[in-house]
Amino acid sequence: MRFMQWIRNKGGTCMAVFLAFFVVTLFAGLTISGVSFKGCDFQDPQQDMDRTNRRVALETDLIKPDVVLAVNGRDVDEKLFSEKTYALWQQVRRGGSDDPATDLYIRGMAANYLVNEEVTIAKGEELNVKVTGEDVKEARDEIISQILNQDDGSTGNVLGDLAKQLGTNRERKAAFSQYLERQGMSEAVWEKNARRELFIQNTREAWQEAIDAQKAIEAGETKAIIDQRLADGDSFLELAIEYSEDNSVNKDPMPMGRGLVLPEQEEALFNTPVGELTDWIEIPAGWNRFEITEKKLAEGPEFEAEREAIVENLKGDNEDYEPTDDEIKRQYEKVWARQIILKTSEPGAVDGELEELVKTADVEYNDPYLLAYQALTDNKLQPPADMGYDKLVAIAQNAAVGEDYDFGLIQEALDEAARELGKPVAATEDTAVTEAEPAGADEAEAAGEDEAAESTAADEVEAADATAEADVAAADQPADEAAAAEAEREPVPIYALVIGLCKLAIQENDDVVGDFPYYIIGKVYMDWIDDEDEQERQPINRELARQEIEDNLSRAAERNEYSFMLHAYRGLNQAWLGQEEPALESLQKAIDLSPEESQLPTWDSIREAYEVLDRQDKIEELDAKLEQIRQVALQRMIEEAQQQNQASQPITIPMDEDESAGDEAAAEDAEAGDAEAAETAEPAAETDEPVAETDEPATEDEPVGEESAEPESADGE
């Protein structure tokens, strides 16, 4: 599975973490500060660039090196970004993961979190939200209470334990100091962070109140319209279909019994004659009105005919119980009615409005990793204002792009971001940065100037026709279908730009680089080679890419020697490079480090590497190891099935010898059935190919959703 697909699959789980983190942790004291994710040592990438004359110097003049991103002109500095990154890192990595790419994903999620925060803060300022000293005190008291409640130790003194439980001033100060020490922050820093998070929390509350206030005004206006139209002779059903906000509007009236609706609704329903309308009823959700179409009251021969059955139903298993007349009546009576509901509040509406504001927020990512995340997972790019198409192309050309690479992909992504903001879309230029063009390109361009002009004119006409056709098609397509189609549009990973941006990040922070950017470069190269669907638009120089994969994975391995995934991918690439001994060494490291209890997609990469090396002996050893793993898993399944079977068996009663012998035979048959059932449920790893890992979060330092490297035919090696 390609790296971008891994990111998307991983996102299903981690997005839930992100949303929970955003909503739940909006109170003071949960922000953890002071951690930077910039890694360790660095070896100058210029040495690699000097190996080929097709390289250009990386552009490094970002607008504000200390600003990671900006949201509608509001700067987010590196310190705040590091705090949020670390907090999310703790949440996402608790399950354990061997994949260094998790760090890139966490950075992207932290950026999304901060965009949501900054948009929320801007809304709070618009609503004139305040954070009072009492708010801060309550947040501090909550932390202190949690700490004091965690300590269950007793002093042995009743009065002392009571004082400890209530929390004297001295104990409360000590508890809060202990908390600050654990978090590694001063009280001033805590209060600053607390005020920010409290401001966000108060904003959401004020925002919801403003939404509800507007909703109440609209409901009142709609009530007046409905009353007027009823007076003019419009039918209740017609108005219910047009205005009611419940999900039960249909031609058939709804049956409603006693005790199944609110008391005020019940009173109106049963006191209003058939064929008439109730007055408006105020309920927690808003305003409610009914048209009574039929009633079933506890009177007459029909009621008497059903009375005995109702009594039996109310008695149930208690034969001594005698239901009252009121109970019998309430059980029988029912009203059929149509209704109109006008809501005066809209719980959760803040999230919907926030989502819309975030979509149209003017975001600039000043961090190369965040731009790389966007280039990998989205169809848009939001770089700083001065990092336009030309600079991004120059950065992308530091990857091993092949001939006729379509750099227009970058312009398309820039245009998509501009469209969301309602900005003018730049004219697409299918040109590369001049420094990277082969020698003689200028002469060829000059020689074909006339043909180019004619071609450009023809292309413009063709593009205009295509645009017109697209506009007509979009106009014919329903809005909801168009929105669904847009939502389902697969992001196109701009491989070269991801690689170039990671190189830029390495160069920008050459003294503090860890393993993950090198790993990402190597893995994205491997995914790029394997992406046959994109080869026409994004051709790759395979020979140069293979060498760069080895260079980067070797550096990643120096910084993280315990990643079995890293060694497996490196071994596969070394096999493609014909480096047999280094490949065998890397593959053996991957095998030694792999958790043996799991069926991992990593085995696919290891097997493919052995096939490339034509090492049948190693393939047989791997098959034997996988068979051993399969047998362990099978035995565990059998034991679990037997335990479940035993737990569900009834208590046995002593029997005579003949009956006992027959029962023992039946038990043997049952045990054989358990084994047979487990055999049928065994993993598909019994076949020659190991089972692919699921998309569930790894819990044993295993990767999520990697894919074996490219087939031999795809590389031609």
Q: Does some domain include residue 405?
A: no
Task: Tell whether 622 and 685 lie within a shared domain.
Answer: yes
**Could you tell me the two tokens for 453?**
């002009």
Average pLDDT over residues 695-708: 39
Task: Tell whether 632 and 568 lie within a shared domain.
Answer: yes
Residue 444 pLDDT level (bands cut at 50, 70, 90): very low
Q: In the prediction, which pLDDT does 354 show?
A: 95
Residues 600 and 565: their CA atoms lie apart, in Å, by: 10
Domain range for residue 454?
A: 450-490
- What is the percent of the chain where pLDDT is above 90? 43
Q: Does some domain include residue 169?
A: yes
User: Residue 44, class by beta-carbon neighbours within 10 Å (0-12 exposed, 13-18 middle, 19+ buried)?
Assistant: exposed
Q: In the prediction, which pLDDT does 349 show?
A: 93
What is the dihedral sign for C-alpha 618, 620, 625, 630?
Answer: positive
- pLDDT score of 503 more than 90: yes
13-27, 103-117, 531-545 — which is least confidently predicted? 13-27
Q: Which tops the pLDDT comparison, 50 or 652?
A: 652
- pLDDT score of 501 more than 50: yes
- pLDDT score of 717 more than 90: no
Q: Which tops the pLDDT comparison, 516 or 271?
A: 271
- pLDDT score of 376 more than 60: yes
Residue 425 half-sphere exposure toward CB, CA atoms < 13 A: 15
DSSP string, 647-704: HHSPPP----HHHHHHHHHHHHHHHHHHHHHHHHTS-GGGSSSPPPP-SSPPSSS--S
Task: Tell whether 579 and 674 lie within a shared domain.
Answer: yes
CB within 8 A of 89, min separation 6: which ones? 37, 103, 106
Q: Does some domain include residue 436?
A: no
Residue 113 pLDDT level (bands cut at 50, 70, 90): very high
Average pLDDT over residues 462-485: 48
- pLDDT score of 5 more than 50: yes
Task: Tell whether 157 and 263 lie within a shared domain.
Answer: no
> Strand 74-77's sheet: what is its strand order?
74-77, 67-71, 363-365
Domain termination site, one of 159, 182, 212: 212
Task: Tell whether 593 and 711 lie within a shared domain.
Answer: yes
pLDDT tens by residue, 662-693:
445 444 554 455 544 444 444 443 344 443 34
Q: In the prediction, which pLDDT does 625 show?
A: 86
In the chain, the number of structural domains is 4
- What is the percent of the chain where pLDDT is above 70? 66
Task: Tell whether 162 and 250 lie within a shared domain.
Answer: no
The answer to whether 206 touches 124, Cβ cutoff 8 Å, is yes
Task: Tell whether 708 and 565 lie within a shared domain.
Answer: yes
Q: Which tops the pLDDT comparison, 203 or 653?
A: 203
Q: In the prediction, which pLDDT does 65 show?
A: 62
pTM: 0.68
Average pLDDT over residues 448-470: 46
Task: Tell whether 625 and 674 lie within a shared domain.
Answer: yes
Residue 72 pLDDT level (bands cut at 50, 70, 90): very high
Task: Tell whether 309 and 178 lie within a shared domain.
Answer: no
Residues 397 and 400: their CA atoms lie apart, in Å, by: 7
**Could you tell me the two tokens for 389?**
């198409």
Q: Which tops the pLDDT comparison, 214 or 18?
A: 214
CB within 8 A of 359, min separation 6: which ones? 420
To the nearest 10°, report the CA torsion of 686, 689, 694, 697. Answer: 100
Task: Tell whether 178 and 248 lie within a shared domain.
Answer: no
Residue 196 half-sphere exposure toward CB, CA atoms < 13 A: 17
Q: Does some domain include residue 183?
A: yes
Quickly tell me which residue has 């847009």 as its tokens: 486
Mean pLDDT over the full length of the chain = 76
Task: Tell whether 567 and 668 lie within a shared domain.
Answer: yes
**Could you tell me the two tokens for 9?**
């699959």
Q: In the prediction, which pLDDT does 598 show?
A: 56
Own/partner long-range contacts of 173-181 (Cβ < 8 Å, ≥24 apart): 175/144, 175/147, 175/148, 176/140, 176/143, 176/144, 176/147, 178/147, 179/29, 179/143, 179/144, 179/147
Instruction: Kindly report the three-state secondary structure assignment for every residue of 208-241.
Output: HHHHHHHHHHHHHHHHHHHHHHHHCCCCHHHHHH
Residues 353 and 114: their CA atoms lie apart, in Å, by: 16
Domain termination site, one of 310, 345, 380: 345
Q: Does some domain include residue 102?
A: no
Q: Does some domain include residue 218?
A: no
pLDDT tens by residue, 647-668:
665 544 444 444 444 445 444 5
The C-alpha angle 239, 241, 246, rounded to 5 degrees, equals 110
pLDDT tens by residue, 395-441:
999 999 999 999 999 999 999 999 888 887 765 444 444 334 433 33
Average pLDDT over residues 294-308: 91
Q: Does some domain include residue 110?
A: no
Q: In the prediction, which pLDDT does 603 show?
A: 86
103-117, 177-191, 262-276, 628-642 — which is least confidently predicted? 628-642
Q: In the prediction, which pLDDT does 166 show?
A: 52
Task: Tell whether 699 and 625 lie within a shared domain.
Answer: yes
- pLDDT score of 29 more than 50: no
Domain termination site, one of 186, 212, 238: 212
User: Residue 482, class by beta-carbon neighbours within 10 Å (0-12 exposed, 13-18 middle, 19+ buried)?
Assistant: middle
Quickly tell me which residue has 């697409």 as its tokens: 428
Of 70, 77, 28, 18, give the one whose Cα is nearest residue 193. 28
Q: Does some domain include residue 594?
A: yes
**In the 8-state DSSP scheme, what is residue 94?**
G
Residues 364 and 374: their CA atoms lie apart, in Å, by: 11
